[in-house]
Amino acid sequence: MAETIAALFLAHVLADYVLQTRWMVVTKRGAGFAAHIALVFATAVACLGQISVAVVLVTFVHLVIDAAKTILMPDRLWSYLADQGLHILSIVAVGALFPGAWQAGLWADAVPQATPEALAMLAGLVFAIRAGHFAIAVYIASPPVPGADGMTARHGALIGGLERAAVFAAVLGGVAALSLVILAAKAGLWWSRDGASAPGRERAVAATLASFAWALAAAYATRALIAML
């Protein structure tokens, strides 16, 4: 079951956070939505190595969840978390319904035995970095900070992605205490900036804490999945 979940979770993060284009997002109420669902199906087929009821079911549920979010939910942090939570629950449910899907696919006998572990680690890393990026962006979207500009936002996003990757690697490497060192370094970086406004510092602190929380949650969830393999 865990192998199936790892493969389908990787398919999900690839479809939502790596391969989904800006056009798909902008036209999510039209042709872009259909293209995205086709991408979800294609990544599930590729990662699981088969066209099966499990693939069709996870694609259909993804369609329903995305449609509900697009039509019914506002662009808020709670709706983003609910959307991703439902996607993950649906993947776990499909894995429970079709526990042998990975073993029945093309890759089970063609790749090294440790491949599902690698899939889980890659999926968790992408989720920590990319899904975390959008969660933090929604969380600190408003109100605007005086003096902030696009370059500052891009630098913040880059640093946030790097810190989430570092925290994720520290936890999976068995040295979770390094997360505290990373957090201390990040805190020192922001508080040493004399030109930063008070609202800017407050937002940086909030974003950093949220970023670390996301990375830790993704890392420990990935460790739990790997332990099941």
Find, among 62, 74, 73, 72, the residue nearest to 33 by Cα: 62
Residue 33 has pLDDT above 80, yes or no: yes
Helices then strands, counting H and E runs in the chain, come out as: 11, 0
pLDDT in tens, 195-228: 555 666 777 788 889 999 999 999 999 999 999 9
> Would you state the pLDDT for residue 208?
87
Residue 6 has pLDDT above 80, yes or no: yes
Residue 133 has pLDDT above 80, yes or no: yes
Distance CA 54, CA 106 (A): 14
> Would you state the pLDDT for residue 185?
81
Distance CA 94, CA 57 (A): 7
Residue 91 has pLDDT above 70, yes or no: yes
**Mean pLDDT of all residues in 29-43:** 95
Residue 192 has pLDDT above 90, yes or no: no
* Lowest-pLDDT range of 23-27, 59-63, 65-69, 118-122: 23-27
pLDDT in tens, 18-27: 999 999 988 8
Residue 75 has pLDDT above 90, yes or no: no
Distance CA 21, CA 70 (A): 16
Q: Do 83 and 65 contact (CB within 8 A), yes or no?
A: yes
Burial of 67 (0-12, 13-18, 19+ CB in 10 A): middle
**String of DSSP letters for 165-212:** HHHHHHHHTT-TTHHHHHHHHHHHHHHT-TT--HHHHHHHHHHHHHHH
**Mean pLDDT of all residues in 48-71:** 96
Q: Do 108 and 9 contact (CB within 8 A), yes or no?
A: no
Higher pLDDT residue, 198 or 39?
Answer: 39
pLDDT in tens, 148-187: 455 556 777 888 899 999 999 999 999 999 988 888 887 7
Find, among 140, 154, 155, the residue nearest to 199 by Cα: 140
Under the banding of pLDDT at 50, 70 and 90, the label for residue 142 is low
